[in-house]
Amino acid sequence: MIMKKIYSMLTMAMMAITAMTMSSCDEDIAIATTLEGTWRGDMYVSSYWNGRDYYATATEITFNGDPFSWTRGTGYWVDYYSGAPWDYVANHIEWHVVNRNIEVYFVEEGTAVVIGDYRLTDNYFSGYIEDGDNDVEFRLRHIDSPNWDSYDRWGYDSWYSNYYYRTRSDAAAVADTMSTKRPVRQFAKTK
């Protein structure tokens, strides 16, 4: 009789834990599903290179879902520039939704940011990126996915190789210089 009561209590506790886990997991799945696609707008990103700051005019992020996981995936993060020695800087990303937080890892840079304070609908994605002690505001709009093959090698020779930057002029000289000195992404403090 006592064993039956203990078994019943353990079963009820396991069901409660499972229900709590599933509701958190369901919310993360809903966020990841809404996040999938391409978003474009202002991220307030700059790149520091060769003693100068260059400010991105727009950012485009593509979140591709992982077919084997409901809450993670890969994608691209492209910062577009005007007046810089390059037109854009493209990065591969890995992303994961954990307890409503969106963690974004920049593969080639080896850095990560967390998006925790945000609003996400089918059409708009806005809020703040946590970059260390720096909270950076962003505003993105959901757009149709572009033809990714139109980008010149996506900024890379291969998935894990060195950066390649599409330049406006004197391509060879700038590319040689940039192979040893890569731009460093910075987020402007806005909160």
pLDDT tens, residue by residue, 26-67? 899 999 999 999 999 998 888 888 999 999 999 999 999 998
CATH topology of domain 33-187: Lipocalin (2.40.128)
50 Ramachandran zone, left/alpha/beta (phi>0; psi -120 to 50)? left
Report which of 42, 81, 37, 39 is spatially closest to residue 60, judged by C-alpha positions.
39
Predicted TM-score (pTM) above 0.75: no
Question: Amino acid identity, residue 34?
Answer: T
pLDDT at 179 over 60: no
* Selected residue with higher pLDDT from 42 and 1: 42
Do residues 163 and 85 lie in contact, with contact meaning Cβ atoms separated by under 8 Å?
no
Number of alpha helices (DSSP H) and beta strands (DSSP E) in the chain: 2, 10
Binned at pLDDT 50, 70 and 90, residue 118 comes out as very high
The rounded distance, in Å, linking the Cα atoms of 64 and 39 is 11
The rounded distance, in Å, linking the Cα atoms of 87 and 22 is 44
The rounded distance, in Å, linking the Cα atoms of 118 and 104 is 14
Q: How many other CB atoms sit within 10 Å of the CB of residue 25?
A: 14
Question: Amino acid identity, residue 93?
Answer: I
